[in-house]
Amino acid sequence: MATRDTNVKGMRTQVGIIGAGPSGLILAHLLRLTGIESVIIEARSREHCEQRARAGVLEHDAAALLERIGVGERMRREGLVHRGIFLRFNGRDHRIDFTDLTGGRSITVYGQHEVIKDLIAAALDAGQQLLFDVEDVSVDELESRRPRIHFRRQSGAVTLECDVIAGCDGFHGVCRPSIPNGALQSFDKTYPFAWLGILAAAPPASEELVYTRHERGFALMSMRSPQITRLYLQVPPSTSLDEWPDDRIWTELRTRMATNEPWALCEGTILQRSVTPMRGFVVDPMQYGRLYLVGDAAHIVPPTGAKGMNLAIADVRVLAEALVAFYRDGSSELLGEYSTTCLRRVWRVQRFSAYMTRMLHRASDDPFDDRVQLAELEYVTSSRAAAAALAENYVGLPFDAR
């Protein structure tokens, strides 16, 4: 195992992982199963990582991966398997049947923070070096054979020497900005709306997610458990939470999600609320020297397609396979192809997320755009081929490592 940090200023490991989100923790777990050492450092506390409610949908293959590597027991016990979603427009529900359209595939609703809890528990049980609450993180010597991570703990300044650094530290992390100017090309799409999201102590009003297109704007009913509902409203990007007291949120949700059939939204105490900008972002390449960007450090997708965590897990699978080949065979071929391999999937997922976003959000007052949007919804809910394309992408495209 890696050198323990007991009042020493220098540490050494094979793979240095910055970030204890799903991507960093899954990468360490996959490497550990093959005997490859790693150290994970995380700027936030363990409690913060385990309690921050974020994404909650796992693709079919992502859920299967967690189960296969031994961290899916609680997910299978407590997660909610969904075999379809509802598209609601003009006051009517239209179900997209994933299981029928994709040969039996499904999704699992299981919160990202729950995935993190399971992975942290497994890591600590296995003696994984997992350091929380680190400060002043930086990286250097990225083009050398021994890139370094510098950080500070209560015991003092530490330098972690690695063979490889995995930047799993998110969009606002230190890894991507540490790459020299001009080495990366950025692609950025900012949407003219945001999501006001709430977590409510109320049972979901539907057993499956409900995506609603309404003339006042998009709304989504999701869930985190049989007792906790996750709900979203399309709002302007400049929205302040002060503008949205509880009564206004529930009134707007009832209005947008109303149907012509008997249906009632379950309401309860709002536990959390936030405003999330809608954007798409990609950097190319996703690597520089011995630094490999993973997940949100390299790409952001609008949440309409439920792809953020799943895309990060796909990156991890590619990087883990490449690192196994590097240490087992001494081959750098797969590491050299990491970015190209990942970006094929990244852009397909960006396409799907943009498609779902355009189809369901009200982006203008132009009546022509309004009619085209409704025509798209009517097409996807009446054509088996169109519905199958949506279902195939939603449950997750087949994983192609190369």
Of the candidates 141, 215, 162, 183, the residue with the CA atom closest to the CA atom of residue 366? 215
C-alpha to C-alpha distance for 63 and 399, rounded to whole angstroms: 13
302 a catalytic residue: no
Active-site option among 113, 299, 307, 361: 307
226 a catalytic residue: no
Amino acid 101: pLDDT = 98
C-alpha to C-alpha distance for 384 and 341, rounded to whole angstroms: 30
Amino acid 10: pLDDT = 87
Active-site option among 211, 232, 288, 292: 211
Of the candidates 56, 52, 57, 53, the residue with the CA atom closest to the CA atom of residue 42? 52
Active-site option among 22, 232, 303, 338: 303
Active-site option among 22, 29, 60, 82: 82
C-alpha to C-alpha distance for 164 and 12, rounded to whole angstroms: 11
C-alpha to C-alpha distance for 279 and 190, rounded to whole angstroms: 4
Beta strands (DSSP E) in 285-385 are 287-288, 291-293, 299-300
180 a catalytic residue: no
Of the candidates 85, 381, 365, the residue with the CA atom closest to the CA atom of residue 215? 365
Of the candidates 202, 198, 193, 214, the residue with the CA atom closest to the CA atom of residue 248? 198
Let me know: does 200 contact 228? Beta carbons within 8 Å. Answer: yes
β-pairing, 148-153 vs 156-161, is antiparallel
C-alpha to C-alpha distance for 278 and 301, rounded to whole angstroms: 8
Amino acid 400: pLDDT = 66
Let me know: does 30 contact 320? Beta carbons within 8 Å. Answer: yes
| 191-277+366-395 matches 10-56+111-184+285-357 in CATH topology | no
Amino acid 13: pLDDT = 97
Question: For the chain, which residues make up each domain, given as ranges?
Answer: 10-56+111-184+285-357, 191-277+366-395
* Domain 191-277+366-395 top-level CATH class: alpha beta
236 a catalytic residue: no
CATH for 10-56+111-184+285-357 is 3.50.50.60
110 a catalytic residue: no
Radius of gyration over every alpha carbon of the chain, rounded to an integer in angstroms: 22
Give the 3-state secondary structure of residue 254: helix
Let me know: does 77 contact 202? Beta carbons within 8 Å. Answer: no
| pLDDT tens-place values along the chain, 402 residues long | 444 444 447 899 999 999 999 999 999 999 999 999 999 999 999 999 998 877 789 999 999 999 999 999 999 999 999 999 999 999 999 999 999 999 999 999 999 999 999 999 999 999 999 999 999 999 999 999 999 999 999 889 999 999 999 999 999 999 999 999 999 999 999 999 999 999 999 999 999 999 999 999 999 999 988 999 999 999 999 999 999 999 999 999 999 999 998 899 999 999 999 999 999 999 999 999 999 999 999 999 999 999 999 999 999 999 999 999 999 999 999 999 999 999 999 999 999 999 999 999 999 999 999 999 999 999 999 999 999 999 999 999 988 644
C-alpha to C-alpha distance for 100 and 310, rounded to whole angstroms: 22
Active-site option among 110, 232, 338, 394: 394
Let me know: does 302 contact 353? Beta carbons within 8 Å. Answer: yes
Q: Map tokens 């996750």 to a residue.
A: 230
Beta strands (DSSP E) in 128-184 are 129-131, 135-140, 148-153, 156-161, 164-167
Residue 342, Ramachandran bin (φ over 0: left; ψ between -120 and 50: alpha; else beta): alpha
Q: How many CB atoms lie within 10 A of CB 94?
A: 17
